[in-house]
Amino acid sequence: MTSAGQAPEVFAQRPKRADARRNYDALVAAAREAFAENGAAASLEDVARRAGVGIGTLYRNFPSRRHLFEAVYVEEVRALSRSAEDLAELPPWDALVAWLHRFVAYVATKRALAEQLLHDSEIFASCRTEIYAAGEPLMRRAQEASVVRADVSFDDVIRLISGLTMAQFASPEQRDLVLGVALDGLHAPAR
């Protein structure tokens, strides 16, 4: 996942035994839910309860709250990155737009996690690299098909979309409408 092709340290800690892997995955899923509902202040005891494990199992897998934040964050980035592969069969514009919608949904739900991680941390940097590695090919393909402006970089688009996600919207529908307006500006002018 990093530029050297190595996964961040959090994945090196993933258990190998099937039962331990199940517990690890259950804890990550429970933490994702708890953080989505209660923000970064979600109780670790609640996370363990939701996962159906004891608090000791949580701490064996994640020695600190930060380790749990990192694991959830990295799992979400991996899912977002995999979605780019799932969209590869769509026409270039549709693939890019669908991925950017997923990116917006990801950012909107992960703001609390990102605030807990240092933006210059190794985990954050490697996740950013993975997001760019997933999204840039979709953008390049759309530009090669002349459906996206040639004068815009992927970094420009990420900054635009990230800025959008900082706003408070009355509903997901309003957020999607505003995203649609931004994407209209990304569309290459008709010739």
Rounded to an integer, the average pLDDT of 56-72 is 90
Residue 115: CB atoms within 10 Å: 11
Q: What is the pLDDT of residue 7?
A: 43
Mean pLDDT over residues 10-31, rounded? 80
Q: Is the pLDDT of residue 11 over 70?
A: no
Give residue 2's pLDDT: 38
Share of the chain above pLDDT 70, in %: 84
**Tokens found for residue 46:** 């609640």
More confident residue, 129 or 118: 129
- Say whether pTM exceeds 0.85: no
- Domain locations along the chain: 9-186
pLDDT at residue 62 in the model: 94
Evaluate whether 16 touches 59 at the Cβ level (below 8 Å): no
pLDDT higher than 90, residue 127 = no
Q: Which residues contact 1 (CB under 8 A, 6 or more apart)?
A: 7, 8, 11, 74, 78, 126, 127, 129, 130
DSSP 148: B
Instruction: Calculate the dihedral angle through the C-alpha atoms of 133, 7, 26, 100, rounding to the nearest 10 degrees.
Output: -10
Paired with 187 in beta bridges are: 148
Give the separation between CA 112 and CA 94, rounded to whole angstroms. 29
The fourth-level CATH superfamily of domain 9-186 is: Tetracycline Repressor, domain 2 (1.10.357.10)
Confidence band, pLDDT 50/70/90 cuts, at residue 75? confident
Asked if residues 152 and 146 have their Cβ atoms less than 8 Å apart, the reply is: no
pLDDT digits (tens, 9 = 90+) for 21-53: 899 999 999 998 898 788 778 899 999 999 999
Name the residue with tokens 């409408």.
177
CA distance 67 to 74: 10
Per-residue pLDDT band for 87 (boundaries 50, 70, 90) equals: very high
Average pLDDT over residues 79-87: 91
